[in-house]
Amino acid sequence: MKTSFLDFVLPSPIVLASGVWGTSATLLERAGAAGCGAVTAKSVGPGPRGGHVNPTALDWGHGLINAIGLPNPGAEAEAPVLADARARLEPLGVKLIASFFADTAEGFGRVAATLARARPHLLEANISCPNVHSEFGEPFAASAESASLVTAAVKRAVPDIPLIVKLAPNVPAIGRIARAVVDAGADAICAINTMPGMIIDIESGQPVLQNRSGGLSGPAILPIALRCVYEIHQAVPETPIIGVGGITFGKDAIAMLMAGATLVGVGSAMHYRGPQAVTQIQDEMAAWLKAHGHAFPADVVGLAHREVRYDLHPTPAPVPEP
């Protein structure tokens, strides 16, 4: 399941998505040992934050919804933790992705420079958190202009660590935003962040989350993520993509590769299948690839972009007129 990504060779195409197992070095190491090729720490910002008040997450039946609210210890406190995580992951060959946010483009650059002290293999600029609208306004991922300003600021601040930019699904033309951030210096794209949504408890007549709205993840958003990754691959075919959103089984991960992702992110699957989700998805992917005569995950990347061949699908027999 070895997979090339930028200048790295990863032991597996599966990536622990940001926010799932926090910022602790031991949990990140555990995800690496479970079979991830790369692990993403929870996004950190310029200073410590407590996040939103509970309830902050809910399983609503077809997926999860969260408004955790960016709780984190701040970049200064997190840098040594990431350095520890990197040292623990090194013997496993697993790469560390340091995710971060800020409220201005220059702030993104400053946080990236602080985290760079830990020498993570990759940086992930999280410009798409859906849960801090009332505080920070529209996410940077909502416009090509603001997304590219952040990207350029981070590249100026830390030119020597490859940069992934994490995009939002709720935009009219995600390919245009991907093109803009790549032109501004992004080395890779991660798509998608969670999809804004709301769950209302009809007995109390109140939104369930204290933040009222939150980000949807899990099985319900897989088709949204597939379409976004498909459009990004069309817009920037030379740029590697980490496809995230609703991947629960190996077949979901294969579909994501076919849409154009090089790596696949796993998040809510840890809730549905437990910590063994990564191993199970990896085994299911390997079994599917073998059964279909493919040696590597890379063999199926972008397959869905071939011309549509409806004759590949069985045509149902015409129903006789009554």
Rounded-to-integer distance, Cα 37 and Cα 2, Å:
8
Of the pair 136, 288, the CB lying nearest ligand RRO is at 136
Contact positions toward ligand RRO, by CB under 6 A? 19, 43, 66-70, 126, 129-131, 193-194, 215
The 8-class DSSP code of residue 237 comes to T
Strand 14-16 vs strand 38-40: parallel, antiparallel, or unpaired? parallel
Based on the residue annotation, tell me whether 129 is a catalytic residue of this protein.
Answer: yes
Contacts of 317 (CB under 8 A, 6+ apart): none
Alpha helix (H) residue ranges in the chain: 25-33, 75-89, 105-116, 133-136, 144-157, 174-183, 222-235, 250-259, 269-273, 277-291
Task: Provide, rounded to whole angstroms, the least separation between the CB of residue 281 and ligand RRO.
Answer: 20
Catalytic residue among 36, 129, 190, 228: 129
Task: Provide, rounded to whole angstroms, the least separation between the CB of residue 273 and ligand RRO.
Answer: 19
Q: Return the amino acid letter for 189.
A: I
Output the six-digit token pair for 160: 């020597």
Of the pair 120, 297, the CB lying nearest ligand RRO is at 120
Rounded-to-integer distance, Cα 247 and Cα 244, Å:
7
Q: In this chain, which residue has its C-beta nearest to ligand RRO?
A: 215
Rounded-to-integer distance, Cα 181 and Cα 164, Å:
10
Task: Provide, rounded to whole angstroms, the least separation between the CB of residue 87 and ligand RRO.
Answer: 25
Task: Provide, rounded to whole angstroms, the least separation between the CB of residue 237 and ligand RRO.
Answer: 26
Strand 8-10 vs strand 3-5: parallel, antiparallel, or unpaired? antiparallel
Q: Which residues pair with 265 in a beta bridge?
A: 15, 244
Of the pair 154, 285, the CB lying nearest ligand RRO is at 154
Of the pair 35, 265, the CB lying nearest ligand RRO is at 265
Degrees to nearest 5, angle at CA 76 with 70 and 82: 80
Of the pair 63, 297, the CB lying nearest ligand RRO is at 63
Task: Provide, rounded to whole angstroms, the least separation between the CB of residue 52 and ligand RRO.
Answer: 7
Catalytic residues: 129
